[in-house]
A and B are shown apart, each in its own frame.
Chain A
Amino acid sequence: QSVLTQPPSASGTPGQRVTISCSGSSSNIGSNYVYWYQQLPGTAPKLLIYRNNQRPSGVPDRFSGSKSGTSASLAISGLRSEDEADYYCAAWDDSLSGSNWVFGGGTKLTVL
């Protein structure tokens, strides 16, 4: 069971806006940045959003991230067929034993 909670699946039609949620706790999302990774079929994950809402160079502005309290969301507007992929949220988790990375279980996005 993953520390961060994501819905296992999401779907939308081309042109639609979809959102994927990521829920955590005060030790991870509540006190640290959230990151989003896109994993296209058969490939390695790719950084999509960093520090809650920043896009790396080359990532279309159709992708946006937000955070509120202990939850975060990834929004994809103008959905395209090539957006069909698995999406993972991630964050640092700070505990008495130290800081460790935690991931969400992943959300499989289907473009209908």
Chain B
Amino acid sequence: QVQLQESGPGLVKPSETLSLTCTVSGGSISSYYWSWIRQPPGKGLEWIGYIYYSGSTNYNPSLKSRVTISVDTSKNQFSLKLSSVTAADTAVYYCARGNPPYVTHWYFDLWGRGTLVTVSS
């Protein structure tokens, strides 16, 4: 079955750029929407943004100026870059699949296990 796995540094310094990759295994990245969602310790979920396999993106307005999401279909991966991070960006970052394909309003049906990123000097 399809599985998602986040990877990247667990510690990032303030003002630097957080970079994470989500690898999709057991299925193709094509045809679907792919998202990043985060959860600060002890708090709720916040949608960061999504990318369609073709490369089109949409970001949370509150993070838009700092977020870039990209896709590499040859590697079955998509990535997140969040610039100018502060302690407020410390969170568990999840990648998730948007299903079904080819519709405008899809939903998150599969999630990765998440990876904790701490912003600290």
Residues of A bordering B, CB below 8 Å: 2, 32-33, 35, 37, 43-47, 50-51, 56, 88, 90, 92, 97-106
Contacts and interface: CB of A to CB of B under 8 A. Distances in A.
10 tightest A-B CB contacts, nearest first = A101-B47, A44-B111, A106-B44, A103-B45, A105-B44, A92-B105, A35-B107, A44-B114, A47-B109, A50-B107
Interface residues of B, number: 19
B105 A106 contact: no
Given A2-B44, A32-B105, A105-B44, A45 B94 contact: yes
B21 to A, nearest CB: 17
Nearest to A45: B111
B104 interface: yes
Greatest chain A CB density within 10 A among B60, B94, B108, B114 is at B108
Given A44-B94, A100-B60, A33 B107 contact: yes
Consensus secondary structure, chain A interface: strand
Contacts of A90: 45, 107-108
Given A33-B107, A44-B94, A44-B114, A100 B44 contact: no
Interface in B81-101: 94
B113 interface: yes
25 contacts: A33-B105, A33-B107, A35-B108, A37-B45, A37-B108, A43-B113, A45-B45, A45-B94, A45-B108, A45-B111, A47-B107, A90-B45, A90-B107, A90-B108, A92-B105, A99-B58, A99-B104, A99-B105, A101-B35, A101-B47, A101-B60, A102-B47, A103-B45, A104-B44, A106-B44
